[in-house]
């Protein structure tokens, strides 16, 4: 056995769906507006996880141009039956209350790496669909039902409907089988059959501080479903000091030795404002499920930070470091783009070998043509750097390194041109749609040559430094003490909006002048870091500290 520390998949890895096929475990996570859709990891021992790929990799499977922030792919369900992997997912187009315009689809594949089939449309009655394969060979879809009518419970229950494999569509009429417990906000359903019972596992309480996993069961598929006397199975709603918060939305898997585990989402708050900069992450927990009895955690409904899993050896951390010199002709799987796949008109790894070449398009405020690649922020303490060659003509061309949550929340260190024709580094900030410049005046750069942009993220404090790419050059800190906790679901909620994702480190370029000037990124490095110096809000030029690049 090995001891693992939760979360097992840190950073933006929400809504986990877990399944075991032979000696492999597979985990699928929501990807929302990020491309490709549905991120899938695999492990042989529940301790060491590697990125296997993505399920939705073609535009014919997923069209997200214009999707709102936190729209796109919600709550995938991954299962295996009849020699195939089955994946159900939602594509959320509109989130503005009281309406939710969401369509649910099914794709299949013989291998987890794909190719995955073209999507089959299922329904649009709600979100969080899940496919259950019954012992008699029949297949059933369950999903949350959304009711937009005034003075109604918008989370109107869990619906059941049969899926016909031969007709490739839902058949019969949907039946509401569960309206939820007193916790409310019932969603994220999964069905299991064990010891003569059908077990319905749902998420309840909302995907925030009141989040929980509810278990109900029935002797028949259509119910009635009785809520467990040990309800909820897992939650930190009554444990406000626990390091893992917002725990819920779980799915079950059985190991070859008969032991059971639940994969669930969690978040880790930081600081007085209790904001979760890394978003919703994936954790793992063993539980007991005696024959004929209810599933229960060994320590009540409170999750454990460290747990025992079957693995005999493990890595110290999930991806503690990542370096890309852009030598390959295709992007590393760890990179993601926004809402659409990369195309040669704006991204190339072959025009200039050894460089990621971006041609600027829309601003970071756009939900359409963003020229950027993103890497998940995975640690509370990390150091990021990139080497950039970019020679803009005017202020209309920018390129650089950003800490990005969504179109309305980011910090961006970008190279541009000033009114006097000088090359400069600007720091742009957006918080709930309020945009401002953090450096006045901007930091002046050499007129030619590459620059290295450095970002350090320590427990919610962010600082940027810059270094000329020349012999004996030193890094110059341009700003420190930035409150990066604004890059969180919590800060977005405080601003009266929606947020379900997490922070990305992005390399990007913008060009409102359509100049076609390329931004060439020669390297990227991400790694864990130690504590920062005491935070400072804004350092004038004479006060800027120097360190080696």
List active site positions.
369
Q: Is the dihedral of CA 354, 359, 364, 370 positive or negative?
A: negative
Q: How far apart are CA 426 and CA 537, in angstroms?
A: 15
Q: Which residues of 253-266 are buried (b: 16+ CB within 10 A; e: fewer)?
A: beeeeebbbbbbbb
| CB-count burial class (<10 Å; 0-12, 13-18, 19+) for 432 | middle
Q: How far apart are CA 204 and CA 185, in angstroms?
A: 5
Q: CB neighbours of 136 closer than 8 A, spacing ≥ 6?
A: none
Q: Report which of 278, 487, 243 is spatially closest to residue 381, judged by C-alpha positions.
A: 278
CA angle (489, 75, 376) in 5-degree steps: 50
The two tokens of residue 417 are 């041109």
Return the H-helix or E-strand segment holding 491.
helix 489-494
Q: How far apart are CA 513 and CA 361, in angstroms?
A: 9
The two tokens of residue 488 are 């969180």
Q: How far apart are CA 105 and CA 447, in angstroms?
A: 52
Query: Which residues sit opposite 198 in a β-bridge?
Result: 193, 218
| Secondary structure letter of residue 542 according to DSSP | G
Q: How far apart are CA 516 and CA 194, in angstroms?
A: 60
Q: How far apart are CA 180 and CA 157, in angstroms?
A: 6
The two tokens of residue 382 are 């990390």
* Cα distance from N-terminal residue to C-terminal residue, the chain: 42
Question: Tokens 């040990």 belong to which residue?
Answer: 230
Q: How far apart are CA 371 and CA 409, in angstroms?
A: 17
């Amino acid at each position: 056995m090995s001891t693992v520390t939760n979360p097992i998949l840190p950073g933006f890895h929400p809504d986990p769906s877990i399944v075991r096929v032979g000696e492999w475990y597979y985990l699928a996570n929501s990807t929302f507006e990020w491309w490709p859709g549905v991120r899938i990891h695999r492990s042989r021992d529940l301790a060491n996880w590697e990125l296997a790929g993505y399920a939705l990799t073609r535009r014919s499977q997923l069209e997200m141009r214009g999707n709102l922030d936190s729209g796109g792919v919600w709550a995938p369900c991954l299962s295996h039956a009849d020699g195939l992997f089955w994946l159900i997912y939602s594509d959320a187009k509109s989130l503005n209350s009281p309406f939710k315009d969401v369509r649910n689809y099914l794709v299949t594949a013989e291998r987890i790496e794909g190719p995955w089939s073209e999507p089959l449309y299922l329904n649009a009655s709600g979100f969080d669909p899940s496919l259950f394969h019954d012992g008699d060979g029949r297949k059933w879809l369950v999903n949350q039902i959304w009711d937009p009518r005034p003075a109604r419970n918008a989370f109107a229950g869990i619906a059941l409907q049969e899926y016909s494999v031969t007709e490739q569509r839902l058949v019969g009429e949907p039946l509401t089988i569960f309206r939820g417990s007193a916790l409310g906000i019932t969603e994220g359903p999964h069905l299991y059959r064990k010891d003569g019972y059908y077990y319905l596992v749902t998420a309840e309480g909302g995907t925030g501080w009141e989040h929980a996993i509810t278990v109900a069961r029935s002797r028949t598929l259509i119910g009635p479903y009785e809520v467990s006397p040990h309800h909820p199975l897992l939650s930190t709603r009554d444990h406000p000091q626990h390091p893992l918060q917002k725990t819920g939305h779980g799915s079950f898997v059985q190991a070859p030795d008969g032991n059971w585990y639940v994969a669930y989402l969690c978040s880790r708050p930081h600081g007085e404002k209790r904001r979760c900069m890394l978003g919703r992450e994936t954790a793992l927990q063993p539980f007991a499920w005696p024959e004929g009895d209810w599933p229960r955690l060994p320590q009540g409904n409170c999750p454990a930070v460290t747990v025992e899993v079957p693995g005999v050896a493990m890595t110290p951390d999930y991806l503690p470091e990542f370096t890309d010199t852009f030598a390959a002709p295709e992007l590393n799987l760890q990179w993601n783009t926004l809402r659409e796949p990369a195309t040669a008109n704006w991204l190339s790894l072959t025009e200039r070998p050894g460089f990621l070449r971006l041609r600027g398009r829309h601003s970071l405020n756009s939900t359409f043509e963003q020229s950027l690649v993103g890497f998940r922020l995975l640690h509370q303490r990390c150091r990021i750097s990139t080497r950039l060659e970019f020679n803009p003509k005017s202020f209309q061309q920018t390129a650089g390194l950003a800490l990005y949550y969504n179109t309305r929340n980011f910090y961006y260190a970008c190279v541009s041109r000033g009114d006097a024709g000088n090359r400069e580094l600007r720091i742009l900030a957006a918080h709930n749609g309020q945009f401002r410049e953090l450096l006045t005046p901007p930091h002046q750069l050499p007129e030619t040559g590459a620059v290295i942009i450095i970002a350090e993220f320590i427990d919610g404090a962010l600082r940027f430094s810059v270094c000329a790419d020349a012999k004996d050059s030193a890094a110059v800190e341009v700003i420190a003490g930035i409150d990066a906790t604004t890059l969180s679901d919590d800060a977005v909620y405080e601003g009266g909006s929606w947020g379900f994702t997490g922070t990305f480190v992005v390399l990007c370029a913008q060009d409102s002048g359509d100049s076609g000037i390329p931004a060439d990124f020669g390297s990227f490095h991400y790694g864990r870091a130690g504590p920062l110096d005491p935070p400072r809000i804004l350092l004038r030029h004479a006060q800027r500290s120097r360190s080696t690049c």
